[in-house]
Every structure is written in C-alpha cells, then in structure tokens.
Amino acid sequence: MTHFSTIGLIGHLNNERAVYSIKRLIRFLQLRNKRFVLEAETAARIVDTDLLSAAHQIVDMDTLGQACDLVIVVGGDGSLLRGARALAKYAVPLLGVNRGRLGFLTDITPEDIENKVDEVLSGQFKSEKRFLLDMEVRRDGQVIATADALNDVVLHPGQFIHMLQFEIAVDDVFVTSQRSDGVIVSTPTGSTAYSLSGGGPILHPTLDAIVVVPMNPHTLSSRPIVVAGHSAISIVVGEHNRAEPMVTCDGHSHVDVQTGDTILIRKKPHMLELLHPLDYNFYERCRSKLGWGGHLLKE
C-alpha cells in the first residue's frame, strides 16, 4: 500500500465549482485524518475559517512542492498545467479533479471525488510520466527570456494576423524555412490541445517525441513532423512587416521576439508524474472527449 503522508491542494482561482470541490476534499481528508497543505492563492478563495484552520499549513507553490508527497489539483487542464510547471522539479505526483471543460489531464469527476481519491490514497492508481519543454529566447548570443511548458511552445504573430518568416533546425541541422501564421512545438501531452486544432497528430502521452506543427503555412507541402524527444529544436525569426511576433508557453508565458532572435526548445531534464484512477484509459479519453465512434459490432 502506498502511503501519502502530506497532501497538497490547489484549486482554480476563479471557479466557484472548484472552490466547492476543494471544500469537499478538505472535509474528506479531515475524516481520513490526513495531513494536508493549502496553496496560498487557493486558500485565499476559501472564506470558511474552520476549513482553513484544519490545514496543516498555507504555503506558496514552491514550499508546497517541498512539503507534500501528493498534490491534488482541482480545476481544468489549465489548472493542472499551472501546477505541473511549478511542481515538476520537486518530483511530487499530481492528481487531477476536473472542474473545467474538456478535462484531458484532470481525470476525476466531481461526483466521484471521495471514492476515487480514497482509492488513490489506498494505493489503487496508475502512474504515468510526462515530460515538459524548456524554452529560451536568445538575442545577439544572450539569453533574454526563459519559460517552460507541459503542452506547447507557440510562435505566433501576436495581436495582428500577419504571416511570419522563420527557419527551423533540429539538432543544429537545417530543416526548413517557412512563411506561415507561426509554429506549434508540442509534447505528447499537448498533442490533444492546440496542436490538434492546428492539424497535428495525436501522440500517446508516454511517447518520447516532440511534434512540430506549422500554423496555416503558405505552401501546401508544409506538414507536421515528429522528432525524437531528445532533439534540440531551434527557430530563427525572419523578417516581418507589420507583425509583432511573440512566443507563448502553455498559453501562459508570453515573450516578444524580434528579427534574428533564436527560440531554442528542448526537453526538461526532470519528468512530471501524473496519477490516474485504475479505470483510466487514454483511448477511451480520446473517444469521450473528441467524439470518436464507439464499437460497431455488438457481442
């Protein structure tokens, strides 16, 4: 049996349904006599002083990663992305409760919170490793910005829809130059997110691979490519007229870039561990979330 001694709780900051589920989780953990820690911004959304006083600590995200051996994220995929970027370096596993819309990463439904969390605390779960991407922008040989992403790194025209010019290399080997609305560099985890809407392939989340997806390329021959997970991908920003290009990581971190800047993307050295209930199945998740067809033949 797996023993989680200290549970961390993170909730969607602007979602009353997530706050309600956090309160349910707190009451459940109290009944189980489990020690739990609240992330400070999440705690600020809970006005019930009795529930707040039951927490062992209220801490910032970094302290949460050091203090806990399991973190439960209540919200949508965006909430789990936020937790993953902050906590992956601490090797603390994450478990998701879905209070968002699509919920590819947050498995547990609100009505199953107590049952499914109880199963996980009793050691009944599946564990899966996911990797994140490191991104840095270099200008005149100097690093001017860094960020990371669990889903994707996107070069795009910023506020205005104008084509960009850029060159792509993999492991210092020139691959192609393009004129397009930008490019998405995605992990397998992110292959069911923005990359999918851009025409990229769905990758099984355990694959050691990165997908590069051009956004509305000027030539029909430009197609997504899949490269090895250990690859170093570099994108050199070419000349542009009215566009003010930008790099965005997970739709969260934004960096303005200029002609001649190099965007370097590679896999982070540490992995994220996601926990799933025992009935989790990636292909069933694709069927239910993406509307794939079910069985044609009945037994």
> What are the domain boundaries of the chain?
6-125+277-290, 132-269
Neighbouring C-alpha atoms within 13 Å toward the C-beta of 92: 27
What value does the mean pLDDT of the chain take?
91
> In degrees, to the nearest 5, what angle opens at C-alpha 237 toward C-alphas 141 and 174?
85
Q: How far is CA 31 from CA 19, 35, 114, in A?
A: 19, 11, 11
Beta-carbon contacts of residue 25 (< 8 Å; ≥ 6 apart)? 9, 72, 74, 97, 113, 117
CA dist 62 and 47 (Å) reads: 23
Q: What is the 3-state secondary structure (H, E, C) of 20-82?
A: HHHHHHHHHHHHCCCEEEEEHHHHCCCCCHHHHHHCCEEECHHHHHHHCCEEEEEECHHHHHH
> Which segments of the chain have a pLDDT < 70?
1-2, 241-242, 297-299
Equal CATH topology for 6-125+277-290 and 132-269: no
Instruction: Give the domain 6-125+277-290 fold.
Output: Rossmann fold (3.40.50)
Whether 62 is a known active-site residue: answer no
Full-model pTM: 0.92
Question: Given this model, what pLDDT does residue 299 score?
Answer: 54
Give how far the C-alpha of residue 179 lies from the chain's centroid of Cα atoms, to the nearest Å. Answer: 28
Q: What confidence score (pLDDT) does residue 2 get?
A: 59
Length of the chain: 299
Per-residue pLDDT, 1: 44
SS3 237: strand
Question: Topology of domain 132-269, per CATH?
Answer: Tumour Suppressor Smad4 (2.60.200)
Contact criterion met (CB below 8 Å) for 258 and 237: yes
Three-state secondary structure string covering 85-135: HHHHHHCCCEEEEECCCCCCCCCECHHHHHHHHHHHHCCCCEEEEEEEEEE
If DSSP codes are grouped into helix, strand and coil, which group holds residue 248?
strand
Which among 48, 50, 60, 77 is annotated as catalytic?
A: 77
